[in-house]
């Protein structure tokens, strides 16, 4: 079959795969302190089912698979699964998004498997503020994992959700991380919900963040890939880069190359829309690879133009935790 191209001419070559909806943190902008209902064990796709779907997606032209959660390392069996993915025909790039709390012990194995890029969520450089945001005391574990990953040569992106009155005073500290390290620090303007139907009020827009960056540093634009979500900058003389992700403003929709697959096998062609295909049901009904491929192509062929149209079509007033769809 031909590579996946949607009805707006956008080629889809990037799959974000949520292997679990469970997380060992409870970040305030994503999840409530308690009460999140995770999927039943029999609803979550097995490793074998995920492996089959990844093979099918690679045969449809997917070139990069990003493993997400929840927190992917809370699910047992992740490393053998990653090794199997690395051996798929076509050799897709395999990346991981993680909160870093469980990362350090797996870095050597990830290196052997061939994983080279890590996106690590870290919203503060202060242990007390970390507890305020994440409701857990794992700050030092994350720092140790980041430093070990850097020593081992991983390409590192630090993802920072900026919240007014909570961590916005740390913007300059995060930028300073890029002075002597080839890291990319990305400030995220997220979907403003808390996982239980409420809108989190302390989020700053991407333009607000950019204004603060420009007040504190002289920054210059940096060329980025056509389908990249981050608008990149650099402080002249610094080794690393700074990014702003206009998630809620949805400025990257026109070049979006991403598909998302939930832990239950629900395919999303847009982060802001509803699932468009139950792939778990197709597999468990015994559908052939060809039938699954045709179903994927059909869903992609009806993709809505951008996140605003997708959200209107979704017509939901209660937002779910990002942990359920992998971000």
Q: What is the CATH number of the domain that holds 246?
A: 3.20.20.70
* Of 106, 19, 98, 101, the residue nearest 54 (C-alpha): 19
Q: Is position 4 within any domain?
A: no
- Tell me which DSSP letter residue 5 carries: B
Q: Is position 5 within any domain?
A: no
Task: Say yes or no to pLDDT of 204 above 50.
Answer: yes
Q: Is position 7 within any domain?
A: no
First-last CA distance in the chain: 28
pLDDT, tens digit (0-9, with 9 covering 90-100), for 84-109: 999 999 889 999 999 999 999 999 99
Burial label, 174 (beta-carbon count in 10 A; 0-12, 13-18, 19+): buried
Domain limits for position 57: 14-324
Domain count, the chain: 1
Q: Is position 128 within any domain?
A: yes
Q: Is position 306 within any domain?
A: yes
Burial label, 90 (beta-carbon count in 10 A; 0-12, 13-18, 19+): exposed
pLDDT of residue 305: 65
Q: Is position 9 within any domain?
A: no
* 18, 69 Cβ separation under 8 angstroms: yes
pLDDT of residue 205: 84
Sequence-distant (≥ 6) Cβ neighbours of residue 87 within 8 angstroms: none
pLDDT of residue 313: 67
Other C-beta atoms lying within 10 Å of the C-beta of residue 59:
15
Q: Is position 240 within any domain?
A: yes
Sequence-distant (≥ 6) Cβ neighbours of residue 286 within 8 angstroms: none
Radius of gyration of the chain (CA): 19
Prediction pTM value: 0.89
Average pLDDT rounded to a whole number, residues 214-235: 87
pLDDT of residue 189: 80
pLDDT band at 242 (very low <50, low <70, confident <90, very high): very high
Mean per-residue pLDDT of the chain: 87
Q: Is position 30 within any domain?
A: yes
Q: In this structure, what token pair is assigned to residue 2?
A: 């031909």
The winner for highest mean pLDDT among 186-190, 200-204, 307-311, 319-323 is: 186-190
Cite the beta strand spans of the chain per DSSP E: 14-18, 64-68, 93-98, 117-121, 155-161, 184-189, 220-222, 230-234, 241-246, 258-261, 266-268, 277-278
* 275, 266 Cβ separation under 8 angstroms: yes
């Amino acid at each position: 079959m031909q590579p996946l191209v949607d009805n707006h001419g956008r080629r889809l070559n990037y799959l974000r795969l949520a292997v679990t909806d469970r997380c060992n943190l409870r970040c305030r902008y994503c999840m409530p302190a308690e009460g999140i209902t995770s999927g039943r064990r029999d609803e979550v796709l097995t490793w074998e089912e995920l492996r089959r779907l990844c093979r099918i997606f690679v045969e449809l032209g997917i070139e990069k698979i990003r493993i997400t959660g929840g927190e992917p390392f809370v699910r047992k069996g992740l490393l053998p699964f990653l090794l199997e993915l690395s051996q798929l025909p076509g050799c897709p790039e395999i990346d991981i998004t993680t909160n870093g709390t469980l990362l350090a012990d797996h870095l050597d194995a990830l290196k052997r498997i061939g994983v080279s890029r890590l996106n690590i969520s870290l919203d503060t450089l202060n242990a007390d503020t970390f507890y305020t945001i994440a409701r857990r005391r794992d700050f030092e574990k994350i720092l140790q994992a980041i430093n070990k990953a850097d020593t081992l040569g991983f390409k590192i992106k630090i993802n920072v959700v900026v919240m007014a009155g909570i961590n916005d005073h740390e913007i300059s500290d995060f930028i300073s991380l890029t002075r002597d390290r080839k890291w990319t620090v990305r400030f995220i303007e997220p979907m403003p919900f808390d996982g239980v139907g409420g809108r989190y009020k302390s989020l700053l827009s991407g333009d607000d963040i950019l204004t603060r960056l420009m007040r504190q540093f002289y920054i210059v634009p940096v060329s980025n890939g056509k389908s990249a979500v981050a608008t990149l900058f650099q402080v002249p003389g610094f080794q690393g880069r700074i990014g702003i992700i206009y998630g809620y403003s949805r400025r990257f929709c026109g070049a979006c190359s991403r598909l998302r697959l939930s832990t239950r096998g629900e395919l999303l062609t847009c982060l802001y829309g509803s699932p468009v295909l139950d792939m778990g049901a197709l597999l468990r009904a015994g559908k052939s690879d060809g039938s699954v491929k045709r179903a994927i192509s059909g869903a992609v062929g009806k993709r809505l133009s951008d996140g605003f149209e997708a959200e209107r079509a979704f017509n939901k007033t209660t937002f779910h935790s990002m942990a359920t769809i992998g971000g």
